[in-house]
Structure 1
Amino acid sequence: MTSPLSKKLILITGASRGIGLSISQKFAHAGGNLIMVSRTKSHLDAALSTLPPGGEHQSITGDVGDPEFWEEVRGGCGKKLDVLVNAAGITHYSLLMATKSETIQEVIRTNLMGSVLGCRAVLRGMIRARSGCIINISSVLGIKAGVGSVAYAASKAGVIGLTRSLAAEVGSSGVRVNAILPGYIDTDMTSGMTEGARRGALEFTPAGRMGTAEEVADAAMFLALNKFANGSQVVLDGGLSAT
């Protein structure tokens, strides 16, 4: 039986841990050939070792906020990618008045510009093939207020705007662009939360728990396979945005 992503070439940023790693593992089990991207080679090597045997997987170290990195991708594998998953991201929590300008710039550079540049780098090849799928990892904070999350929320709201506008721009070319909006997910990014912050997050989440990276990966698989999904925003937050 043919695997659903058999022989598809898939580039995933932020692939060495958390949501990006779980998506990488699920897509590899579904037969995809992965290009995993992260800033740290040792982390990528460890992530590659968790993938099932048999696939033609590789890794690239790079900074997604650097236009030159994406120019290299465009000139290489960007011409033949089937799927791009923009999962690289950084978080930051502090009141805006106490946040340094450099921190704001770095959050927006990685979370928003990294996704914009990634989309631009692969579009020409996908449009030429009249086929392709882009999945952007946003956040529920892109649609729901969060105290102390101004820079992060602004970057993730931008990813939603990117997704919707690009879906309208290239949908007639056979390229699909969708977003996943996770709520509180049990990953390295949330492991540093104080006990009080964690209790507060669970209190406002009707499901009464954090989500798992594997559950986000399930949503990514749905978007990769459903050919009518374009411009979608899959909210995966245990009901947090409904409160």
Structure 2
Amino acid sequence: MPKHALITGGSRGIGLAIAQLLARNNYQCSLIGRSAARLSEAVSSLPTNSHSGTLAHRTIAGDISAPDFWERDNMSVQGLDKGSKKIDVLVNCAGVAQERLFKRVSEEEIKQIVDTNLTGMMLGTRFLLRRRENREDKPGQVIINVSSLLGLKGGRGAVAYAASKAGVLGFTRALAAEVGPLGIRVNAIVPGYIETDMTEHLQKSSDLISQIPLKRFGTPEEVADAAWFLINNQYANNCVLNLDGGLSAV
């Protein structure tokens, strides 16, 4: 039977690239995002697993930061109930950006950024762990959390975003110690500037590119390769993998 990956933020960018790579390697993918239309387009780009039988890739539209999204009744409707197949890999990739001086950021914006980038990730991870506690899943699972270079380095105009992404790293380290003995590995990727629609307006900035030692942005596919390594290396737990073209060394 193929393995199963649950990917938040799976409708575009890094999340979709990870889903495409996993699907090419015989994973069934469940993509989570806010837009049903965008999810439908994304899932249509995934290779069909010839061994999947009647269980195809699926999409789940909703707000991961809403506690009721992860409630058992809702997940049952979405096909992730007690009787569904094991979740082998959870990729926490959903996120929203910020480009505004902190003094001008509203309380609503701060809440949206933290709720999506950090709280939603924690709620989704708790959902996975509770399935494990109820013996619906077996050991051997992997959790991949997508952080950001700004969570390590900071950056002007991204205070709330940087704080949320730093929280992702703290969460990763603490959880790796807590659930590692249960056979669950927890790792993080720390991307720098990646070619996605969120950075499209920055990709022609010669000043920014000149600061990156490799003189270019990374690609979502390169981040997906990093996720694939962390999924497969059985000794990778509390592994924080920088993928920033050397920018953090500057």
Superposition TM-score tier, normalisation by shorter sequence? over 0.9
Aligned AA (1:142): G
The 1:78/1:38 distance shift into structure 2, 3 A limit, reads: same
The answer to whether the aligner puts 1:107 opposite 2:108 as a matched pair is no
Match of residue 80, structure 2, among 77, 80, 86: 77
- Preserved CA contact (<8 Å) 2:195 2:203: no
The 1:133/1:123 distance shift into structure 2, 3 A limit, reads: same
The 5 A counterparts of 1:8-23 are 8-23=3-18
Q: C-alpha distance in 1, partners of 2:107/2:101?
A: 12
Aligned AA (1:90): V
The answer to whether the aligner puts 1:24 opposite 2:19 as a matched pair is yes
Q: Aligned residue for 2:191?
A: 182
Task: Figure out how many residues of one structure are paired with residues of the other and give that number.
Answer: 236
Q: C-alpha distance in 2, partners of 1:238/1:193?
A: 16
The answer to whether the aligner puts 1:199 opposite 2:194 as a matched pair is no
- Preserved CA contact (<8 Å) 1:38 1:61: yes
> CA deviation digits over 1:42-76, x for unaligned, max 9?
10110111111235211110111111111246655
Query: What root-mean-square deviation, in Å, do the aligned CA atoms of Structure 1 and Structure 2 show?
Result: 1.6
Q: C-alpha distance in 1, partners of 2:31/2:59?
A: 5
Cα displacement (A) at 1:106: 0.5
The answer to whether the aligner puts 1:139 opposite 2:148 as a matched pair is yes
Q: Aligned residue for 2:65?
A: 65
Cα displacement (A) at 1:78: 6.5
Q: Aligned residue for 1:209?
A: 216
Cα displacement (A) at 1:188: 0.5
Match of residue 237, structure 1, among 218, 241, 244: 244
Q: Aligned residue for 1:157?
A: 166
Alignment gaps of 5+ in structure 1: 1-5
Cα displacement (A) at 1:201: 2.2
In the superposition, the TM-score normalised over structure 1's length comes to 0.92
Q: Secondary structure at the match of 1:143?
A: helix
- Preserved CA contact (<8 Å) 1:82 1:126: no
Q: Aligned residue for 1:120?
A: 126
Match of residue 148, structure 1, among 157, 160, 163: 157
Q: C-alpha distance in 2, partners of 1:114/1:238?
A: 28
Cα displacement (A) at 1:123: 1.0
Q: Aligned residue for 1:35?
A: 30
Aligned AA (1:223): L
- Preserved CA contact (<8 Å) 1:28 1:34: yes
Q: C-alpha distance in 2, partners of 1:150/1:68?
A: 28
Q: C-alpha distance in 2, partners of 1:90/1:230?
A: 26
Match of residue 97, structure 1, among 93, 98, 103: 103
In the superposition, the TM-score normalised over structure 2's length comes to 0.90
Cα displacement (A) at 1:214: 0.2
Aligned AA (2:176): A
Q: Aligned residue for 1:3?
A: none
Q: Secondary structure at the match of 1:235?
A: strand
